[in-house]
Structure formats: structure tokens, C-alpha cells
Amino acid sequence: MTLVVIGANPTVARAIAELSGDQVHVRLPGVPVLGLDGWDASGVRKVFTADFRDAPAFLTFVDEVLAPMAPAAVVSLTEPGLEPAAVAAERLGARGVDPQVVRVTRDKLRMRRVLARRAPHLNPAFAPGDAPGAVARLFATHTPVVAKPVDGFGSRSATLFERPADLPPDRGTAATLFEQFVGGVEFSVEALSLNGRHTVMGIAQKGTTGGFVEVSHIMPPPSLDARRRLLVERAVAELLDALGLEDGPSHTEVKVEGDRVTVIETHTRLGGDGIADLVRLTTGVDWRCAAVGWAVGAEPQRAAAAAAAAATVFFTAPPGRVTYVAPQPSLTHGSVVEWDVPVRPGDPVGPLRSSEDRLGRAVLTAESPAECAAAVAELMSLRVVTTRRDR
């Protein structure tokens, strides 16, 4: 049985190495998969290079290279690889995620329109950017309003506006989606779907900047009681049913205000920002392996949890040039189990516009969600990276 994995990063490649059967990795040109280069077994090459972002060229690769292998499944956990993997699986008659579901989740406007028909209570008010009348009505009844790219991810270019007069001209196109800004606390929900049954693997509470860039995740979420957790799980199941996702992983972002759960977005992959590490630490499940292994019938394996609660914290600093990087601290609450701050004095720091502009991260563990939240607050109160504005 052959499993084809599109665009796996080194962490995913290592996590799934022990899955039974043959594995074939497809990587982009010039992008090495550390630990897989030169991996051959019985004279069969396991790593191929193909630009899966080029649809015609990739379909030729599928027909000429992958089809003779008769793979059992084709999957991906990277955003650019989701649709190519789904299309390849369908073309080869292999197991994978339905391409139509992938397309709907990658197009935020299409997702909103599907929910408007099938689960409208999960939607905020919204309007497409190329419908000026609808945008004007949205601003007249719901402010502030969030403008976001229809196909964006990673907090890219999401901006809050109070008045339509503040909108730059480039926002008035089909590439932008306008949504009512929803209050409340934001959560990330990791789920695995099998034969239409959705199992939540973990829920993380998010901390964000005013510009929507994520700066912390805490699992389990300290502000979500058992009753509201059930509301969140039911809302995610409704969402996935509405979109038609029957098999595979999902990462869904929701906001909870009172008893109302509003869907922000969803993806047919696991969450980034090391959320898979939080699932492993708090439940014992290797979420990366489970998010791929379902396609070849592998059951999620659960080891002993390492901690009752865990968190990731991301470091930021004002634009300028780095003058000082603090060493790993000892915390009053919880423990630091990973510390990665790659910037050095002299490095330039630009504005914080997306998750790619963050400067490093730490992973924390604690004996309870409340203590973990205290550890996050303690660490975020420290100045880990100091900058000085260039003159």
C-alpha cells in the first residue's frame, strides 16, 4: 500500500515515518525535506520533485509518475498542497479529501455562502468586496468591519475598518471579503473526520494582537467550561457537515460570545503555530501522524499525556533593529519546554503584519489551564526582544 504525501515539512515527514506501507513524498523544486533526501528502499525512489502549484504540469506528473504506483491515498497538510493532493487523489481513484470541499474551505466567500444556506447561525454578516451596495449596508448595520483576502491564511492582510470612507481602493474587488467584526474569545478546534463522524482532538484558546496576528495558544482553553465546549464541538460538527467534509483533518477557528459560536474560517488540514505539539502534550496523540494516517486506515495512537495544559507564546517587538535578546527565563507559573528565538542583535524588525513577522516562540506546560494562562501572561509581560528604531 502506497501513501503519497504532498509538500510535507520535515516535522510532518518525521512524524509519519513509522506509518505502515510505502511512502512517496512530493516536494517543490528547491525545497528540501530534511531527513528524506536520498531515501531509497529496494531501489525505489521515495522522494520526487514537482511543482504542484502549476496545475497542468502537476497533472502530467500525476499521470506519468504517480499513476503507475497505484497509490492507496494522496494527502497534504500544507496549504498550497491541499487542492493538488485532493485533485490527484480523485484522478487516481485513491483515498483523499473531496476536492470540492477543499475549494470551499480555501475560498472564504464560498464558505460563507454555503453556511448562509445550510447553517446561517454560524455566520457573521458579510459582503463580497465587489458588491458596493452590500458593503455599504454592512457598514450601516455592523461596525467595525473586518476586511480579509478571500483566499488568505496566516492572518495575512486582515484589517479592521470603522467607516467605508476609510477603505483603500484595492479593497473594493472580488479578492476581498468584508465581515461583521464578532466579539468574544477566539478558539482553534482540531478535528478528525472519518465516514462523516467528527472527533475533536483538541481546542486551543487564542491570543491575538489588534491586527489579528496570533501571539498565543493555550490548550485546554482556560475560559471554556464544559457546557460551552460542547457548544463549540457541535458548531464545528455542523460546519463540517454543511461543507461536506466526511474524511480527514480540519482546523477551525471560532469565536464564542455568550452562548453564540461564530465560525471565522476552516481548513482541511491541522493547525499551524505548533498546535499539533499542544495536542500531543495534553492528550498524548501525535496529531501530525493522525492527520495523515487516517488515509491508510491507521487509528490515532494515544500515549500518556505529558502535561495537563500547554501553550505556545510568540514574541514580537516594535519595528527597528534588534539590540538585545533575553535568555530563556525561569517562570513562577509553569515550565518552558521549548525556546526558539532566532533573531540576533543587529537584525532588522519590520511591522507586525502577519504570523511570518513574529520573532520567535516558546512552548510552556503547566498543571492546569489556569496556571498555563498565568504562565503565558507572565512570559508575555517580559521584553524578550528589544529593538531600537533606525534613524
| CATH number assigned to the domain comprising residue 210 | 3.30.470.20
Position 115 in a domain = no
User: What mean pLDDT is predicted for residues 118-133?
Assistant: 96
Whole-angstrom Cα distance, residue 92 to residue 371?
Answer: 49
The answer to the question of residue 50 being in a domain is yes
pLDDT at 154: 46
The reply to whether 160 and 227 lie within a common domain is no
Alpha-carbon distance of 155 to 151, in angstroms, equals: 11
Residue 239 zone, left/alpha/beta (φ > 0; ψ -120 to 50; rest)? alpha
pLDDT at 42: 44
Cell of 240: 463540517
Strand 22-27 relative to strand 2-6, pairing = parallel
Residues 159 and 206 in one domain: no
Mark whether 85 and 139 lie in a shared domain: no
Determine the structural domain holding residue 47 and report its residue range.
2-96
Whether residue 239 has pLDDT greater than 70: yes
pLDDT at 34 over 80: no
- pLDDT tens figures, 158-211: 888 998 888 888 888 999 999 999 999 999 999 999 999 999 999 999 998 876
Residue type for 64, please?
E
Same domain flag for 317 and 226 = yes
* 120 is a domain residue: no
| H and E: helices and strands count for the chain | 10, 21
Residues 192 and 150 in one domain: no
Instruction: Determine what percent of the chain is predicted with pLDDT higher than 90.
Output: 83
Domain-embedded: residue 118:
no
Q: What's this model's pTM, rounded to 2 decimal places?
A: 0.92
Q: Give the pLDDT band of residue 31 (cuts 50, 70, 90).
A: confident
pLDDT above 90 (res 37): no
36 and 83, same structural domain? Answer: yes
Domain membership of residue 378 (yes or no) is yes
Same domain for 175 and 191:
no
Co-location of 203 and 55 in the same domain: no
Residues 156 and 189 in one domain: no
* Mean of per-residue pLDDT scores for the chain: 93
What is the domain count for the chain?
Answer: 3
- Asked whether residue 295 carries a pLDDT value surpassing 60, the answer given is yes
Predicted pLDDT of residue 156:
55
Q: Is the pLDDT of residue 153 over 90?
A: no
One domain for residues 92 and 174: no
